[in-house]
Amino acid sequence: MRVGVVQYASRRDRRESLEALRNILSRYRVEADLIVLPEYADTTPVRPRREFVTSGVSVEDNEFLAGLEELASEYSAYFVAGVLEKRGDCNYSSVALVEPSGGTRIVYRKRVLFDALGYRESSLLCPGSEKSSIVELKGVKIGFAVCFELRFPEVFREIALSGAYLAVVPTAWYAGSLKEEQLITAAKARANEETMYIVVANQYSDRFTGRSMVVDPYAVKILDLGQGEKYGEAIVDTSVVEEAREKLPLLDIYKKSIMGRCT
């Protein structure tokens, strides 16, 4: 499967975010089966608290997602995007899957909120309560996580044990001292621990690090978008996962030695 990654800064207005995305994709030859966008791809989180908490919208009312359905049809590709979803009395950092044949669904809501390094995301969002969906696209089983969750191996072990060969991670990774190194280290560690591909699509601006990437099961970056608003593609090969899991049967060892003791 060919995976595309878009790195950009979302705007306050969802229509402007959609236009920025369109402009980036128009500069490239897009051949991907799956195109991954950052966390908060629809509307920037960089705004006053009061404005942020009133800016969530339902999936049905999200103009950005409606535009993604058009792009999915135009490019004959699935899109995954992090969005600020209003549901009941809560806002969530959610992951939406948009299908080329039409239709959008939420496949995950961020469970581990960013209460660290001076931020308190839990004052703005409700945590999700359900495990990631596992979706099969083009013969590849895919799970989902969001941004800060890259720092938690348990999240990715859960995804891998559910049969996924690929974890898609929309992120809005804030800039700061050594933050790029932490992002890269976390993504490579999760890929190697779970012998799976990790796709990170990150925001880029003076507030966010960029460095969107695709990491293979051996912890090798096969795509690194560096800095700036841009697009890139990489191949996710299921045979590489199978080879890695045969050579490094970490999941099997874990199930036998750790999970086996709990049964």
Give mean pLDDT, residues 40-46.
97
The pLDDT, as a whole number, for residue 261 is 65
Q: How many domains does the chain have?
A: 1
The pLDDT, as a whole number, for residue 259 is 77
Task: Tell me how far apart the alpha carbons of residues 227 and 106 are, in angstroms, rounded to a whole number.
Answer: 29
The pLDDT, as a whole number, for residue 84 is 98
Which tokens belong to 42?
């629809």
User: Which position has the token pair 């089983």?
Assistant: 141
Encode pLDDT of 158-197 as tens digits.
999 999 999 999 999 999 999 999 999 999 999 999 999 9
pLDDT at 208 over 90: yes
pLDDT at 263 over 70: no
pTM of the model: 0.96
Mean pLDDT (the chain, rounded): 97
Give mean pLDDT, residues 206-224.
98
Task: Tell me how far apart the alpha carbons of residues 188 and 144 are, in angstroms, rounded to a whole number.
Answer: 16
Pairing of strands 166-171, 140-144: parallel
Name the residue range of residue 69's domain.
2-262
Q: What is the CATH number of the domain that holds 74?
A: 3.60.110.10
